[in-house]
């Protein structure tokens, strides 16, 4: 057992163990909860006077400016512009206003405005099918699955040649999510099959969007015990995601140093291992025929500038890879991000270790990052995400049989990594865990606020900005985090309770880790996670190969968001070398 106190500093984790006795409300919440959460709702609009704001001059660029504000999470400023534009009532201006309410999580208000917009004539940018899709998405967000299902079906029936193909794909994706929520898995599988066919027809058999459709279809097949088909389409989706990462890294390589075929081959080997086979590439052969919906549309795979969503197509794979083809790979590190962050949060750290022969693969947790653009996979599901990581790490073990594999998790990611190690120790050579403890500062305040919201509106997202404020005192980091379009800073009370329950099981998981080497990191100036929680976790670990590193002058984040330090990183590289069988 090793215990170090250093002069540097890692991070803070995000949740705390709390048990409150006496009040029934607190009994519900007697488990680790997130940090104090700012629950002040965004200025809510009264539908009766929402169009009576003071007049101001509107330029023809205001719509575009408002959309940019939405994408930058400046929701109040965006709303003021859309309210002004909506004074000139039309289906266009009212639908834009509804989209702003949708992005603000004010789904009931969005539905009211959509009802009003329905009175105006349809036009190219907002057809009847598009309007029905917007209503369906609001209902889905309200967990009104039956009505949402009916609206998605109506959208598909209303399709005309004025509608882009992407309208059909969004309706199918939403319909499949409704079936899944209702546990109608047979219809879910049929719907996701149709979605996958449509995406293949729209974008091509190797396109990123098709990869995401296959990932959803894999879940659906698994639910109806079609294990072989689930495995086949999953393999193809991973092949596409690897190809997407390969294409990105090749662009970087060519831009930086010219076109080097030898390095391209080395890079491909690093990204695919032995998994670059025709069998995996053609795993979608289980899908026979073409989509029945594509001929009903104009076949366009995207939409023009529209405020309803930040994006209408996936732009990233759920896994993000960093590798340096100029050096031989000596280890793989699977990175799992903290609450509210995403797979690219490890970018600075991963770029630092890649010249050392370490291939870093960071994955979005279900409910965060790239999953936010995938209906049915955009809610927090901790148990499912543990299963996701078991599945992908098993595949990595198969495709890189000679390379040692380590899991690095920070905060929430650290808790997931602990659970993975406890349940599937055979999948990894070691665990690097940063601030995974459940004990949090000010958790009683958080428990009360979450409890009140649970009783009044359990499905309305709560603002998590206070997590950011507790995690760091650095204004520039707060600003970057708050305006990161891929960060998720809102969760429902139900999700927070689910998260809290998962975090409360960290000690139980730690007791099961008997033989795997573990290194824990804790920042001494962490204002989010209590140091004592990490100490308790360290003492609970049974494995004799355990190390605790305390970092002075360090806030919550240690490896993510560019907060890593070179001395810490060098120590991690040395620890990986020491626990890599091939390097001893």
Give pTM, 2 decimals: 0.85
Range in 25-29, 218-222, 349-353 the model is least confident about: 25-29
For residue 365, what are the contacts with CB-CB under 8 A and spacing of at least 6? 336, 337, 371, 380, 385, 412, 413, 416
More confident site: 254 or 30: 254
**pLDDT above 70 (res 220):** yes
**pLDDT above 70 (res 441):** no
End-to-end CA distance of the chain: 20
Mapped to the 3 state alphabet, what secondary structure does 329-382 carry? CCEEEEEECCCCCCHHHHHHHHHHHHHHCEEEEEECCCCCHHHHHCCCCCCCCH
More confident site: 285 or 253: 285
Give 546's DSSP letter. Answer: E
- What pLDDT does residue 583 have? 47
How confident is the model over 343-358, as a mean pLDDT?
95
Q: How far apart are CA 248 and CA 40, in angstroms?
A: 41
**pLDDT tens-digit profile of 257-271?**
666 888 999 999 999
Range among 18-22, 298-302, 305-309 rated most confident:
298-302
**pLDDT above 60 (res 68):** yes
Residue 376 in contact with residue 149, Cβ under 8 Å?
A: no
- What pLDDT does residue 305 have? 80
- Which percentage of the chain shows pLDDT scores above 70? 84
**pLDDT above 90 (res 343):** yes
More confident site: 62 or 406: 406
**pLDDT tens-digit profile of 525-535?**
787 888 888 99
How confident is the model over 178-196, as a mean pLDDT?
97
**pLDDT above 50 (res 27):** no
More confident site: 213 or 32: 213
**pLDDT tens-digit profile of 139-160?**
999 999 999 999 999 999 999 9
Q: How far apart are CA 484 and CA 475, in angstroms?
A: 14
Q: How far apart are CA 418 and CA 413, in angstroms?
A: 9
Neighbours of 549 (CB within 10 A): 22
How confident is the model over 194-218, as a mean pLDDT?
97
Q: How far apart are CA 85 and CA 100, in angstroms?
A: 12
Nearest residue to 468 (alpha-carbon basis) of 453, 489, 439, 447: 489
Confidence of residue 377 (pLDDT cuts 50, 70, 90): confident
Look at strands 331-336 and 405-410 and give their pairing: parallel
Q: What domains appear along the chain, each with residue ranges and CATH number? A: 7-22+25-38+311-583 (3.40.50.1820), 126-240+275-296 (1.25.40.10)
Q: Residue with structure tokens 């539908």?
A: 47
CB-based burial, 148-178: b 16+ in 10 Å, e otherwise: bbbbbebbbebbeebbbbbbbbbbbbbbbbb
How confident is the model over 93-98, as a mean pLDDT?
96
- What pLDDT does residue 257 have? 63
- What pLDDT does residue 155 have? 98
CA 457 to chain centre: 23
- What pLDDT does residue 450 have? 66
Residue 442 in contact with residue 35, Cβ under 8 Å?
A: yes
Averaged pLDDT of the chain: 85
CA-to-CA dists, residue 25 to 28, 162, 451, 497, 504, angstroms: 6, 52, 6, 12, 18
Q: Residue with structure tokens 């965060």?
A: 368
């Amino acid at each position: 057992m090793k215990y170090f106190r250093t002069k540097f500093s890692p991070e803070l984790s995000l949740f705390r163990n709390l048990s409150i006795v006496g009040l029934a409300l607190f009994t519900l919440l007697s488990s680790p909860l997130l940090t104090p959460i700012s629950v002040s709702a965004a200025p809510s609009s009264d539908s009766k006077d929402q169009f009576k704001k003071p007049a101001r001059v509107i330029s023809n660029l205001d719509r575009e400016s408002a959309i940019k504000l939405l994408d930058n999470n400046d929701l109040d400023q965006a709303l003021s512009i859309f309210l002004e534009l909506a004074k000139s009532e039309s289906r266009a201006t009212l639908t834009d206003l509804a989209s702003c309410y949708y992005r603000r999580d004010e789904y009931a208000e969005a539905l009211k405005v959509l009802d009003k917009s329905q009175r105006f004539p349809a036009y190219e940018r907002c057809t009847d099918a598009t309007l029905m899709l917007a209503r369906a998405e609001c209902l889905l967000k309200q967990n009104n699955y039956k009505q949402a299902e009916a609206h998605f079906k109506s959208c598909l029936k209303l399709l005309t040649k004025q509608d882009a193909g992407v309208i059909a794909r969004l309706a199918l994706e939403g319909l499949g999510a409704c079936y899944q929520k209702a546990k109608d898995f047979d219809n879910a599988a049929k719907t996701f099959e149709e979605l996958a066919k449509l995406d293949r027809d729209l974008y091509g058999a190797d396109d990123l969007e098709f990869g995401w459709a296959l990932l959803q279809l894999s879940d659906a097949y698994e639910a109806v015990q079609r294990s072989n088909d689930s495995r086949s389409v999953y393999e193809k989706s991973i092949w596409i995601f690897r190809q997407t990462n390969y294409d990105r890294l090749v662009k970087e390589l060519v831009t930086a140093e010219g076109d080097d075929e030898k390095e391209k081959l080395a890079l491909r080997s690093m990204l695919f291992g032995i998994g670059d086979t025709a069998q995996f590439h053609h795993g979608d052969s289980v899908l026979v025929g073409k989509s029945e919906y594509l001929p009903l549309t104009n076949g366009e795979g995207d939409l023009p500038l529209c405020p309803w969503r930040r994006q209408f197509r996936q732009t990233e794979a759920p896994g993000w890879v960093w590798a340096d083809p100029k050096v031989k790979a000596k280890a793989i590190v699977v990175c799992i991000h903290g609450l509210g962050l995403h797979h690219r949060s490890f970018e600075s750290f991963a770029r630092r270790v890649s010249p050392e022969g370490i291939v870093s693969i960071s994955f979005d947790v279900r409910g965060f990052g790239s999953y936010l653009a995938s209906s049915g996979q955009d809610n927090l599901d901790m148990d499912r995400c543990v299963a996701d990581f078991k599945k992908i790490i098993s595949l990595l073990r198969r495709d890189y049989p000679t390379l040692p594999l380590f899991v690095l998790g920070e905060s929430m990611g650290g808790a997931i990594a602990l659970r993975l190690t406890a349940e599937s120790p055979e999948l990894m050579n070691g665990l690097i865990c940063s601030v995974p403890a459940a004990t949090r500062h000010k958790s009683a305040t958080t428990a009360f606020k979450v409890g009140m919201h649970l009783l009044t509106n359990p499905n309305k997202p709560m603002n998590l900005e206070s997590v950011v404020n507790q995690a760091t005192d650095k204004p520039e980091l707060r600003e970057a985090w708050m305006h990161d379009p891929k960060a998720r800073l809102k969760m429902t009370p139900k999700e927070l309770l689910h998260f809290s329950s998962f975090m409360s099981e960290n000690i139980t998981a730690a007791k099961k880790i008997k033989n795997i080497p573990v290194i824990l990191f804790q920042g001494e100036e962490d204002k989010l996670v209590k140091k004592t929680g990490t100490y308790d976790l360290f003492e609970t670990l049974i494995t004799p190969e355990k190390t605790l590193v305390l970092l002075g002058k360090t806030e919550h984040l240690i490896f993510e968001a560019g907060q890593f330090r070179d001395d810490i990183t060098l120590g991690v590289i040395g620890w990986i070398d020491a626990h890599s069988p091939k390097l001893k």
